[in-house]
A and B are shown apart, each in its own frame.
Chain A
């Protein structure tokens, strides 16, 4: 372990033997080699490369939509209604002459922001509940896990819809609904990890030293226990995109002129018989993004497990 950055990129599962790398001190120094190894091998597969490109493209749409389309997503040209996809309008135009490609590009930021917000809510809520339940045990554990059990016992879509009924409509509300619905699953995984980490000798040593819980939790337990929860968040990304676009399709997102992906499909539904592109191309975008996210998260998960 002289200069870890010079470790050759191992092509297979050939790994150096040693104790669990999460907990030993050398881990930070190995980071560059590990990242290269983690990202290097799978990138050689065309499917994964394609997935990365798709996600980067959509990220670009969300951050700087002007770079990808010069047209406005909200105002259309009355003379150019219902144009089929072509070189002029990549995804065609809708009943108001608005360019569908521009609407999809500008909609990316709404849909991605909602996805990230929902995942953050699920992560933070799940991590906090899981930490408290797993670390303190007894009645805190009993109470939290009972609530988690209740949340898991209502079909998830109905739980989200209940929250939306209470909060009202909009991208933010949809994100909160999906996020809160997912908290239970995250809390469960986090608690299991905390229970595992808690018994590690270094944590017991810290407790014996008289370290107080508000230092033990963030410094000793959180870093060692958060891995599987982060993996769950990555695995959930595609599902959350799907759930958010479904709720937006049902009409619970931003009000009409906003180009949310699900809402685009819902609007195009009225012209299903004549203008196939209004529903098909926005739906295809959602599908491709979900496929790419799922593919990538599975690769990351498999890599994480190998490590």
Chain B
């Protein structure tokens, strides 16, 4: 299959997914039993003291009186231009709120991604490298233990021990590099477990294939076999998992930023959901879906580089 064609179909699919996320949130949020206009006016005393004409005028101003399909069309057109309307709570443009919040979340998210990958890969490799059965069993059980930890608890424990008792890190807020470390560690734990589990399993499988026996027959040691041959062959599932990892980090940001009282996308999401602030929720979901789709697109484009079999057939080969 032609590489260019492959890239084009994957890109179209990513675009489709973002459009679908927009439509899905639009549909879900229009099911809202409450009246968004009432919600918006409630800050100014709700409908009490307002005449029906005033309510109708606000409704018309906001465009909520138009047919649903018209609302959808104009909302989609605006969203393509990066305009998700204004927050019902603060009246600020949603795009502005998101743009202000993204850097902070990218900082802890990026650090968490690096931590999850490095530690996850180390655990996954070590579990296959060690010759001691006890150590191997231990390393293999770390991931399933780590995914069972609620991340709100991990965050609270880190604050309790490292900030309150030993005063090593600032507990809350966003002040300097030091305040990044605890949130990033908390966020990294589930992802780290994911990477360790998938890579560990994938390495284990690939080291049982016939080619591994051939390499062993040449007299190569465990390390040579693993680093020289196994890792490259085990890389495909591990690369796939990066996509899942980004998804889990986006979700994790909501809990972690709430626990550490950090400003960011997660915080915005948390408070927007609490206030049923539709435009903000929709904006956040679409931006997150976009990020998710872009990461998955990049991963799709990396596959053919890693695996020549995909280059020729255009699809994943499972062995």
A contact residues vs B (CB 8 Å cutoff): 149-151, 153-159, 161-168, 238-239, 242, 245-246, 249-252, 262, 265-266, 269, 272-273, 276, 279-280, 283-284, 286-287, 290-291, 294-295, 298
Contacts and interface: CB of A to CB of B under 8 A. Distances in A.
B292 A153 contact: yes
Contacts of B236: none
A45 to B, nearest CB: 13
B48 to A, nearest CB: 21
Contacts of B270: 250
Given A157-B254, A158-B288, A166 B29 contact: yes
Contacts of B153: 265, 279-280, 283-284, 286-287
Nearest to B249: A155
Interface residues of B, number: 50
A153 B21 contact: yes
B285 A162 contact: yes
Nearest 5 interchain pairs by C-beta: A157-B251, A283-B153, A150-B20, A155-B247, A153-B17
B274 interface: yes
A165 B21 contact: no
A7 B246 CA distance: 50
B32 interface: yes
A4 B271 CA distance: 60
- B contacts with A: majority SS: helix
Contacts of B144: 294-295, 298
Interface in B228-258: 247-248, 250-252, 254-255, 258
Contact of A153 (B34, B281, B284, B293): B293
Contacts of B289: 153-155, 158
Contacts of B21: 150, 153-154
B152 A246 contact: yes
Nearest to A149: B17
Interface string B178-193: 0000000000000000
Interface stretch (B51-59, B126-134, B156-164): B156-164
A287 B273 contact: no
B255 A272 contact: no
Contact of A273 (B29, B164, B250): B164
Given A155-B247, A158-B251, A158-B285, A283 B276 contact: no
Contact of A287 (B25, B149, B160): B149
B218 interface: no
A148 B150 CA distance: 27
A246 B147 CA distance: 13
Nearest to B259: A269
B9 interface: no
Contact of A161 (B159, B273, B292): B273
B105 interface: no
A68 B150 CA distance: 25
Contact of B157 (A149, A153, A168, A280): A280
B28 interface: yes
B150 A287 contact: yes
Nearest to A268: B156
